[in-house]
């Protein structure tokens, strides 16, 4: 049995403490230990972006991090984006309205990446949106609807419209 460590971190605003094997990836910790299966593994080598989470607000590949490296940090996953069980985040609403998802497997990584973008740049150009998701692969949509959805959500957020 490989070595274990105790870690404590915040996940979607909730304090979490656990003993984990040092070789456990953050993605597997979120998915298997915490049952937060919204974070998806598409390539496990850091290219597809499906596993993207926010680490202290910055996008990061949870497949390329170990769980122990998240010790003391705050993680946001796709499950933590919507304000509550009834409402969705403006990005989530715009994704539905613009048909910016089909199979939905890449969607969690798209949403976390774009959450960071819209926080840092509330009024991005289409080119800036494309740049932001240039590290997120989608096989279904052809991306243009994702760009449209992001611009729609950005507008809603700037107008202060919840959803």
Partner 1 sequence: MSAAGMNAGGSKAGSLIGKSMPRLEDKALLRGTARFIDDINLPGMLHVAFLRSGFAHARIERIDCAAARALPGVHAVLTLDDLKPLLTTPYLVVALPSPHFKLDLHRPALADGEVRHVGEPIAAVVADSRYIAEDALALIEVDYDPLPAVADCRAALQPGADLSHADQPHNLVAELRTEFGDIEQAFAKAAHISRADLWVHRGGGHSMECRGDVAIYDDVQDHLTLYSSTQAPHAAMQQLAKILGRPETGLRVITPDVGGGFGPKLIFYPEDVVVSCAALLLKRPVKWVEDRRENFIATTQERDQYWSMEIAVDDQARILGLRGEMLHDHGAYTARGLNVAYGSAHTVVMPYEVPAYDLNIKLAVTNKVPVTPVRGAGQPQGAFAMERLLDVVAQEMGLDRAEVRRRNLVRAEDMPRSKPIVTRGGIDVVLDSGDLPAAQADVLRAADWDGFKARQRAALAEGRYIGLGLANFVEATGRGPFEPATVRVDITGRISVMTGAAAMGQSTKSMLAQLVADQLGVSMQQIEAITGDTARIALGIGGFNSRQTVMAGSSAHLAAKAIREKMIKIVGHRFNAVEEELAVADGRVFVANDPERGMSFGEIAQAVAGLPGYVLPPGVSAGLEATEYFTQDAMAYTNGAAVAEVEVDVETGDVRVHRLILSHDCGQQINPMIVDGQLMGGIAHGLGNALFERMGFDDQAQPVTTNYGEYLLVGAGEMPEVSLLHRSSPTPLNPLGLKGVGEAGVIPTPAAIASAIEDALSPFGVRICQAPIAPQEILSLIEAARQNADANPAPLAAGMR
With CA atoms as reference, report the closest residue to 147 among 162, 161, 136: 136
Q: Does 36 bind partner 1 (CB under 8 A)?
A: yes
Residue 105 is given by DSSP the state S
Burial of 116 (0-12, 13-18, 19+ CB in 10 A): middle
Please say whether the dihedral angle defined by the alpha carbons of residues 112, 117, 122 and 123, taken in this order, is positive or negative. negative
Angle at 18 between CA 12 and CA 19, to 5 degrees: 150
With CA atoms as reference, report the closest residue to 56 among 121, 20, 10, 105: 10
Applying CB under 8 A, among 34, 78, 151, 157 the residue interacting with partner 1 is 78
**Do 78 and 108 meet the contact criterion of CB atoms below 8 Å apart?**
yes
CB of 117 to partner 1, least distance (A): 12
Q: Convert residues 91-130 into a mask of x (bound to partner 1 by CB under 8 A) and - (unbound).
A: -x--xxx-x-xxxxxxxx--x-----------------xx
Applying CB under 8 A, among 14, 22, 43, 161 the residue interacting with partner 1 is 43
Applying CB under 8 A, among 64, 88, 116, 156 the residue interacting with partner 1 is 88
Applying CB under 8 A, among 4, 21, 64, 116 the residue interacting with partner 1 is 21
Q: Which is nearer to partner 1, 23 or 119 (CB)?
A: 23
Q: Does 161 bind partner 1 (CB under 8 A)?
A: no
**Do 39 and 24 meet the contact criterion of CB atoms below 8 Å apart?**
no
Q: Does 75 bind partner 1 (CB under 8 A)?
A: no
Q: Which is nearer to partner 1, 73 or 108 (CB)?
A: 108
Q: Tell me the β-bridge partners of 11.
A: 14, 75
Report the interface residues with partner 1, using CB under 8 A.
Answer: 1, 21, 23-24, 31-32, 35-45, 47-48, 50, 77-79, 81-82, 88, 92, 95-97, 99, 101-108, 111, 129-131, 133-147
């Amino acid at each position: 049995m490989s070595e274990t460590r105790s870690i404590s971190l915040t996940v979607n605003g909730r304090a979490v403490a656990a003993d984990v094997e040092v070789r456990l990836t953050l993605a597997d910790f979120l998915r298997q230990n915490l049952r937060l299966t919204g974070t998806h593994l598409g390539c496990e080598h850091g290219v597809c972006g499906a596993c993207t989470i926010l680490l202290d607000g910055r996008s990061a590949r949870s497949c390329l991090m170990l769980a122990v490296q998240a010790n003391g940090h705050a993680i946001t996953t796709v499950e933590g984006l919507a304000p509550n069980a009834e409402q969705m985040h403006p990005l989530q609403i715009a994704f539905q309205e613009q048909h910016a998802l089909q199979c939905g497997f890449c969607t969690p990584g798209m949403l976390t990446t774009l959450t960071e973008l819209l926080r840092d740049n509330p009024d991005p150009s289409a080119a800036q949106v494309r740049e932001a998701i240039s590290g997120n692969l989608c096989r279904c949509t052809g991306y243009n609807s994702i760009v449209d959805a992001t611009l729609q959500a950005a507008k809603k957020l700037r107008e202060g419209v919840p959803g």
